[in-house]
């Protein structure tokens, strides 16, 4: 029974409301405790029952996702998912959002997002070997007022610098990801950080306390007042006042985290560590009750022993602080010194703050007096669970192509291709990824700007491929189908490197779940994702849900982002997307037959072309036949492993014409292809975004074998033309519709982001010389 002066603070209805707790939730607290909570306990319940920590609105739906396969070692519920990749190795990976903090303070918000996901990986004993980011911002060229565009520039710049600063210093390569722009992200940018680490199959650590009397050790940075109620903030809509929430944002220290990584992995090697968890959202509170909860034991901590950066901190503040770069670990009793020696070597604080108890409770003491005592179950497994009401919703768009849209007439398709290549969603993202160290650890076989990141696994012949993908606009038009596409496209990108997609992690970014339409979108997305993951045999091993991405009632598109990981047995055989030289055949692998003109018109409204050239959105995302998609992916992996395909490019954003141009850019090798219209407008053929298509190039003599394999897999492999030096030419029914030099198209694509941000392209930086005075 708590007996601190803390209890003197009266728990008023206002206080309960300020903590984001409903009246019913407060009644549950009274029932759990059998008394009024102390202010510290109220704070603890508030953070643990926040949407961010409890998944109270999403849990009932998330259960539907497939989470098992023969490779899955650890599914959802731990710090990260883990899969077996062979040769005694496993990989831990996860994606997590840091959206709200990145809006309030882009640099630190994004940096600590990277820091948090890295800790999730290395607490499992895995050394992080790759990161990627999925970023979404408001418009940076047009489509908003000047003030908004300027602010979007500064958010983009801050987020990218923050990611760079943290990842580069920590020393983990950034191998890919995506950067997209839509007006709905102006007030709610999305920053989803993915990390992947390698661990020996028999050296995995879990966030589980065990062994009565074992010491609980606090390691890493000292606790300050940063980020108090960060996760309740992540569970609220934004208002004008949010800008004043700046003190809530934590500041990251990547150098300290690097030391923490080395020290934690070294401490684990001593064998004296029983369990370990990082202090992320809800800090000391979350790590204490979750580690106890998973191990069916209790943890008692004495706050006087917690290293503190500031003076006069109350129990409430210490328990709720979200200071970064801290870990809680349970060591084997009597072997504490082995752990201490390691942390001392790396110059880090490590102190015993408590012990494991047998009673499945979290007990917090200050000066020896109890200030909080709560059953673990109340904060974890038995936290509130809601089946929130749902209501079918239709986007406010036409489902048919507007009559004002004219196709196949006089438009200059070469000029439109250039416009599309220069559009912010399709243009080269070099300005972003050249700020990230993509080579450190010398494993990077394919870095950013490719279909997927590919790293080798040292000491084996294997490689791992990974890609992030999401399409908010498609999910807005049809959440179920859009989510299926996110899974399919992310997996397709991985398959285009020659790797077999084997598992996935998801980051689900949505608006306010208390709105029935939003909840319906969420449920639809989970349904679509479930279907696609089952059909493509990709279990979801973990992830993160981010609700309340709304400012002043304006929500984002429902934006599920999927990170797929693939395994390639012989990394030497991996393929990339660029044409290697002239004289190769250009072949389109196609899972499904194209639809008729009516389908094409309705689906064209979801394309980048419609958005960019017509400034309009209508219709539906493209149809997707998952069986055909699975067949296509199996086929491309086989073609690459047999050495038949020299390059492979997923046909998606911007359609076939953009895929062709991007394949040409890296080596300046063009192509001449001929298409048959079958009565469709040339815009559909060139820029339509039909699903399940991959553009490959191959030696002419391999065409026969490729087509034979295509037949065996049940997919079409049509020869479109061949690669040529320097030019891109596209003919429809024998009539040229696009003709341009590769260099000319590349110029439109390559510097577009720099031009939008009005920064000089890197090579134009003048050498600084002595200012001779």
Partner 1 sequence: MKFGVIIFPGSNCDHDAYYTVRAVLEQPVTFLWHESHDLENCDVVIVPGGFAYGDYLRTGAIARFSPVMESVARFAAGGGLVMGICNGFQILCEAGLLPGALLRNAGLKYISKPVQVRVESADTPFTNACRKGEVLTIPIGHMEGNYFCDEPTLQALQREERIVFRYVENPNGSLDNIAGISNPGRNVLGMMPHPERASEALLGSSEGFKVFQSLLGAAVAR
Partner 2 sequence: MKAYVYVTLKKTVLDPQGKTIQGALRKLGYKGVDDVRQGKFFEIMLDGGLDRTAAEAEIARIAREVLTNPVIEEFRYSLEE
403 binds partner 1 (CB under 8 A): no
Catalytic residue among 19, 52, 229, 433: 52
440 binds partner 1 (CB under 8 A): yes
In the region spanning residues 560 to 619, those forming contacts with partner 1, defined by CB under 8 A, are 571-572
Which of 259, 717, 740, 753 lies at the binding interface for partner 1 (CB under 8 A)? 259
Q: Is position 61 annotated as part of the catalytic site?
A: no
438 binds partner 1 (CB under 8 A): yes
Of these partners, partner 2, partner 1, none, which one is at the site of residue 771 (CB under 5 to 8 Å by kind)? partner 2
Nearer residue to partner 1 within complex by CB, 443 or 541: 443
Q: Are 699 and 640 in contact (CB under 8 A)?
A: no
Nearer residue to partner 2 within complex by CB, 10 or 769: 769
Residues 6+ apart with CB under 8 A from 768: none
Nearer residue to partner 2 within complex by CB, 165 or 559: 165
771 binds partner 1 (CB under 8 A): no
772 binds partner 2 (CB under 8 A): yes
Of these partners, partner 2, partner 1, none, which one is at the site of residue 773 (CB under 5 to 8 Å by kind)? partner 2
Q: Could you tell me which of 217, 215, 216, 245 has the C-alpha nearest to residue 232?
A: 245
Q: What is the DSSP string of 346-371?
A: TT--EEEEEEEESSSEEEEEETTEEE
Which of 200, 399, 458, 708 lies at the binding interface for partner 1 (CB under 8 A)? 458
What's the chain's Rg over C-alpha atoms?
27
Of these partners, partner 2, partner 1, none, which one is at the site of residue 366 (CB under 5 to 8 Å by kind)? none
Nearer residue to partner 2 within complex by CB, 442 or 766: 766
Q: Rounded to whole angstroms, how far apart are CA atoms 143 and 425?
A: 13
Which of 701, 770, 771, 773 lies at the binding interface for partner 1 (CB under 8 A)? 770
Q: At what angle do helices 39-48 and 283-295 cross, to 10 degrees?
A: 70
Piece of 2-10, 199-207, 260-268, 763-771 that binds partner 2 (CB under 8 A): 763-771
553 SS3 class: coil
Nearer residue to partner 2 within complex by CB, 241 or 769: 769
Kindly report the backbone phi and psi dihedral angles of residue 573, in degrees, each rounded to the nearest multiple of 5, phi listed first.
-95, 5
Of these partners, partner 1, partner 2, none, which one is at the site of residue 122 (CB under 5 to 8 Å by kind)? none
Q: Could you tell me which of 294, 87, 293, 122 has the C-alpha nearest to residue 205?
A: 122
Beta-sheet strands, E only, within 405-526: 444-446, 453-456, 463-469, 500-509
- Bridge partners for 698 per DSSP: 585
Q: To the nearest whole angstrom, how small is the minimum distance from the Cβ of residue 447 to partner 1?
A: 8
308 SS3 class: strand
147 binds partner 2 (CB under 8 A): no
Using CA of residue 202, residue 96, residue 479, residue 137, what is the dihedral sign? negative
195 binds partner 1 (CB under 8 A): no
Q: To the nearest whole angstrom, how small is the minimum distance from the Cβ of residue 773 to partner 2?
A: 6
DSSP label at 30? Answer: H
CA atoms within 13 A on the CB side of 34: 5
Nearer residue to partner 2 within complex by CB, 157 or 527: 157
Nearer residue to partner 1 within complex by CB, 135 or 330: 135
Size of the site for partner 1 (CB under 8 A): 42
Q: Is position 98 annotated as part of the catalytic site?
A: yes
CA distance to 80, 170, 178, 190, per residue, from 174 (Å): 18, 11, 12, 18
Q: Rounded to whole angstroms, how far apart are CA atoms 201 and 87?
A: 9
Q: Rounded to whole angstroms, how far apart are CA atoms 734 and 486?
A: 35
Which of 1, 241, 403, 769 lies at the binding interface for partner 2 (CB under 8 A)? 769
What the block records as the tokens of 619 is 């219709």
757 binds partner 1 (CB under 8 A): no
23 binds partner 2 (CB under 8 A): no
Nearer residue to partner 1 within complex by CB, 85 or 651: 85
Which of 171, 334, 679, 725 lies at the binding interface for partner 1 (CB under 8 A)? 171
Catalytic residue among 19, 98, 100, 649: 98
Q: Rounded to whole angstroms, how far apart are CA atoms 424 and 440?
A: 28
Beta-sheet strands, E only, within 534-574: 540-546, 550-551, 554-555, 559-568
Residues in contact with partner 2 by CB under 8 A are: 768-773
Residues in contact with partner 1 by CB under 8 A are: 161, 164-165, 168-171, 253-256, 258-259, 346-347, 433-445, 456, 458, 571-572, 760, 762-763, 765-770, 772
Catalytic residue IDs: 52, 98
């Amino acid at each position: 029974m708590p007996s601190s002066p803390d209890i003197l603070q009266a728990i008023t209805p206002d206080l309960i409301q300020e903590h984001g707790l409903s009246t019913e939730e407060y009644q549950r607290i009274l029932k759990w405790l059998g008394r009024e909570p102390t202010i510290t306990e109220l704070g603890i319940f508030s953070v643990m029952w926040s949407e961010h920590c409890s998944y109270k609105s999403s849990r009932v739906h998330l259960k539907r996702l497939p989470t098992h396969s023969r490779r899955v070692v650890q599914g959802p519920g731990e710090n990260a998912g883990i899969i077996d990749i062979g040769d005694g190795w496993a990989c831990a990976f996860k994606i997590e959002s840091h959206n709200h903090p990145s809006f309030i303070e882009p640099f630190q918000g994004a940096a600590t997002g990277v820091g948090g996901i890295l800790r999730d990986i290395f607490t499992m004993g895995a050394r992080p070997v790759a990161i990627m980011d999925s970023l979404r911002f408001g418009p940076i060229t047009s489509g908003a007022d000047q003030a908004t565009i300027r602010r979007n520039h500064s958010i983009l710049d801050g987020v990218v610098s923050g990611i760079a600063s943290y990842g580069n210093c920590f020393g983990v390569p950034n191998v890919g990801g995506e950067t997209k722009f839509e007006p709905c992200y102006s007030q709610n940018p999305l920053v989803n950080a993915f990390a992947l680490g390698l661990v020996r199959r028999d050296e995995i650590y879990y966030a589980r306390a065990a062994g009565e009397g074992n010491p609980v050790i606090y390691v890493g940075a000292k606790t300050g007042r940063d980020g108090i109620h960060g996760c309740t903030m992540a569970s609220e809509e934004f208002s004008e006042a949010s800008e004043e929430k700046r003190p809530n944002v934590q500041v990251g220290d990547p150098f300290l985290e690097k030391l923490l990584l080395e020290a934690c992995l070294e401490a684990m090697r001593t064998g004296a560590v029983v369990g370990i968890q990082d202090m992320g959202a809800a800090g000391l509170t979350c790590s204490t009750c979750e580690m106890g909860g998973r191990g069916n034991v209790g943890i008692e901590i004495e706050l006087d022993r917690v290293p503190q950066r500031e003076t006069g901190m109350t129990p409430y503040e210490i328990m709720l602080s979200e200071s970064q770069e801290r870990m809680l670990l349970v060591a084997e009793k009597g072997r504490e010194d082995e752990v201490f020696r390691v942390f001392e070597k790396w110059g880090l604080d490590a102190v015993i703050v408590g012990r494991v108890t047998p009673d499945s409770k979290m007990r917090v003491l200050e000066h020896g007096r109890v200030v909080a005592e709560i059953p673990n179950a109340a904060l974890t497994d038995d936290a509130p669970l809601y089946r929130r009401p749902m209501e079918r919703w239709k986007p406010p768009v036409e489902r048919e192509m507007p009559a004002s849209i004219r196709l196949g007439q006089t438009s200059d398709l070469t000029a439109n291709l250039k416009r599309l290549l220069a559009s912010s969603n399709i243009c080269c993202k070099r300005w972003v990824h050249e700020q990230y160290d993509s080579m450190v650890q010398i494993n990077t076989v394919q870095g950013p700007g490719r279909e997927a990141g590919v790293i080798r696994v040292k000491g084996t012949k294997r490689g791992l491929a990974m890609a992030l993908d999401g399409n908010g606009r498609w999910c807005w038009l049809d959440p179920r189908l859009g989510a299926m596409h996110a899974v399919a496209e992310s997996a397709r990108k991985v398959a285009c490197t020659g790797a077999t997609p084997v598992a996935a992690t998801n980051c689900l970014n949505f608006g306010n779940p208390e709105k029935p339409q939003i909840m319906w979108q969420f449920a639809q997305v989970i349904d679509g994702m479930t279907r696609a993951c089952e059909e493509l045999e990709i279990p979801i091993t973990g992830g993160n849900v981010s609700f309340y991405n709304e400012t002043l009632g304006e929500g984002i598109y429902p934006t599920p982002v999927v990170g797929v990981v693939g395994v390639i047995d012989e990394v030497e055989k991996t393929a990339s997307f660029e044409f290697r030289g002239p004289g190769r055949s250009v072949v389109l692998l196609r899972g499904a037959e194209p639809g008729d003109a009516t389908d094409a018109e309705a689906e064209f409204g979801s394309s980048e072309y419609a958005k960019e050239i017509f400034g309009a959105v209508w219709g539906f995302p493209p149809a997707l036949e998952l069986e055909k998609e699975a067949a296509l992916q199996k086929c491309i992996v086989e073609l690459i492993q047999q050495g038949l395909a020299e390059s492979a490019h997923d046909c998606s954003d911007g359609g076939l014409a953009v895929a062709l141009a991007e394949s040409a850019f890296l080596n300046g090798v063009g192509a001449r292809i001929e298409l048959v219209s079958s009565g469709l407008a040339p815009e559909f053929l060139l820029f339509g975004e039909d699903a399940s298509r991959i553009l490959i190039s191959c030696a002419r003599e391999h065409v026969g074998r490729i087509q034979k394999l295509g037949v065996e897999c049940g997919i079409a492999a049509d020869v479109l033309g061949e690669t040529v030096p320097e030019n891109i030419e596209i003919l429809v029914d024998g009539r040229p519709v696009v003709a341009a030099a590769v260099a000319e198209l590349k110029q439109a694509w390559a510097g577009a982001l720099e031009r939008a941000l009005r920064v000089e392209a890197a090579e134009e930086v003048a050498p600084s010389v002595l200012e001779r005075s």
